[in-house]
């Protein structure tokens, strides 16, 4: 966590949250029942007030994609980008937020000794990147091992809170990331059909970047493991959570100095 003073009357601080998902565990059998379960990430402001970590849903949120390590063939990399776009389209329907693809990037969200991922993320508000952990040039420190296996992906956000004299503490999310293990690309089928799909993995990690946490219901995309089942899109509970994070809950008005607008 880092805090700095902005002038004499305003305070600004930033916190970051990440979560990981593991690859398919065939031992888990999907439940048939539907569920309305969802969980929202929260942040506690310095005055003790706990708030849901939300983006301003009334502003366009840009995203860029680094598919260099998603596949060997360019046609397969392009298919991966199309899956990202399709996943954001589903998130847009569920939240009412306008997500805008601003092209490819060579950036990999990662923490370095010099800075944290959100301090150098200038290509888009959300960066989606495949990585290869075997080489320092293609690695992300955000993707870690989970239990006995390696995480297939991780997603998260950075949230800033501020105070201006005479007003209460307020906070808003302004950067997000999705990091996916390119070496596990063969574990996930392209698209959104039946089986363990890249589409479901993307929906899950994008869900984290927007502020969704894991749930215990196996029928939801936000279950911690991508199950070998068909996810056409977000399930009932996921959509309920995304609705709370989106335009239905109103705008979050932040001064321009809190986050640099990249749209």
The site string for Zn ion over 70-109 (x = CB under 5 A, - otherwise) reads ----------------------------------------
Instruction: Kindly indicate which of the ranges 19-27, 129-137, 164-172, 246-254 contains the residues binding Zn ion, using the contact rule CB under 5 A.
Output: 19-27
* Closer of 19 and 158 to Zn ion (Cβ): 19
Contact 123, 59 (CB under 8 A): no
Q: Which of 14, 18, 19, 180 binds Zn ion (CB under 5 A)?
A: 19
Q: Which of 14, 16, 21, 131 binds Zn ion (CB under 5 A)?
A: 21
Structure tokens at 61: 């949120």
Instruction: Kindly indicate which of the ranges 13-21, 45-53, 73-81, 236-244 contains the residues binding Zn ion, using the contact rule CB under 5 A.
Output: 13-21
Q: Which residue has the tokens 């990202």?
A: 84
* Closer of 14 and 21 to Zn ion (Cβ): 21
Q: Distances in Å between the alpha carbon of 249 and those of 14, 89, 136, 240?
A: 22, 19, 41, 12
Q: Tell me the residue number closest to Zn ion, measured at CB.
A: 21
Contact 31, 219 (CB under 8 A): yes
| DSSP conformational letter for 117 | G
Residue 148 Cβ vs Zn ion, minimum distance, rounded to whole Å: 17
Contact 247, 58 (CB under 8 A): yes
The answer to the question of residue 221 lying near Zn ion (CB under 5 A) is no
* Closer of 59 and 214 to Zn ion (Cβ): 214
Residues 96 and 235: their CA atoms lie apart, in Å, by: 16
Instruction: Kindly indicate which of the ranges 15-23, 53-61, 131-139, 245-253 contains the residues binding Zn ion, using the contact rule CB under 5 A.
Output: 15-23
Residues 184 and 131: their CA atoms lie apart, in Å, by: 10
Residue 74 Cβ vs Zn ion, minimum distance, rounded to whole Å: 29
Contact 47, 252 (CB under 8 A): no
Burial class (CB in 10 A: 0-12, 13-18, 19+), 215: buried
Residue 24 Cβ vs Zn ion, minimum distance, rounded to whole Å: 14
Number of residues that bind Zn ion (CB under 5 A): 2
Residue 204 Cβ vs Zn ion, minimum distance, rounded to whole Å: 6
Residue 224 Cβ vs Zn ion, minimum distance, rounded to whole Å: 5
CB within 8 A of 228, min separation 6: which ones?
24, 26, 30, 195, 196
* Closer of 227 and 254 to Zn ion (Cβ): 227
* Three-state DSSP class for residue 103: strand
Chain contacts with Zn ion (rule: CB under 5 A): 19, 21
């Amino acid at each position: 966590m880092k805090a700095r003073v902005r002038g004499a009357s305003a305070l600004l601080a930033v916190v970051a949250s990440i979560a990981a998902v593991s690859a398919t565990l065939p031992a888990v059998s999907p439940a048939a029942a539907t569920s309305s379960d969802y969980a929202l990430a929260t942040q506690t402001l310095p005055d003790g007030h706990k708030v849901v970590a939300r983006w301003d849903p009334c502003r366009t949120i840009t995203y860029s994609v680094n598919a260099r390590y998603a596949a060997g063939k360019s046609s397969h990399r392009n298919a991966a980008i199309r899956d990202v776009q399709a996943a954001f389209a589903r998130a847009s329907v569920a939240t009412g937020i306008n997500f805008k693809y601003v092209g490819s990037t060579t950036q990999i969200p990662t923490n370095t000794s010099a800075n944290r991922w959100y301090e150098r993320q200038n290509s888009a508000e959300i960066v989606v990147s495949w990585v290869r952990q075997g080489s320092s040039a293609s690695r992300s420190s955000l993707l870690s091992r989970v239990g006995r296996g390696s995480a297939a992906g991780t997603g998260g956000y950075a949230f800033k809170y501020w105070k201006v004299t005479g007003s209460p503490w307020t906070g808003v999310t302004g950067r997000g990331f999705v990091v996916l293990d390119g070496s596990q690309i063969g574990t996930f089928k392209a698209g959104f059909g039946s089986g363990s799909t890249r589409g479901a993995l993307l929906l899950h990690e994008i869900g984290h970047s927007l502020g969704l946490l894991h749930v215990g219901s196996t029928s939801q995309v936000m279950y911690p493991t991508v199950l070998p089942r068909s996810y056409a899109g977000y399930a009932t509970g996921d959509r309920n959570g995304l609705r709370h994070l989106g335009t239905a809950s109103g705008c979050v008005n932040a001064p321009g100095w809190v986050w640099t607008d990249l749209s």
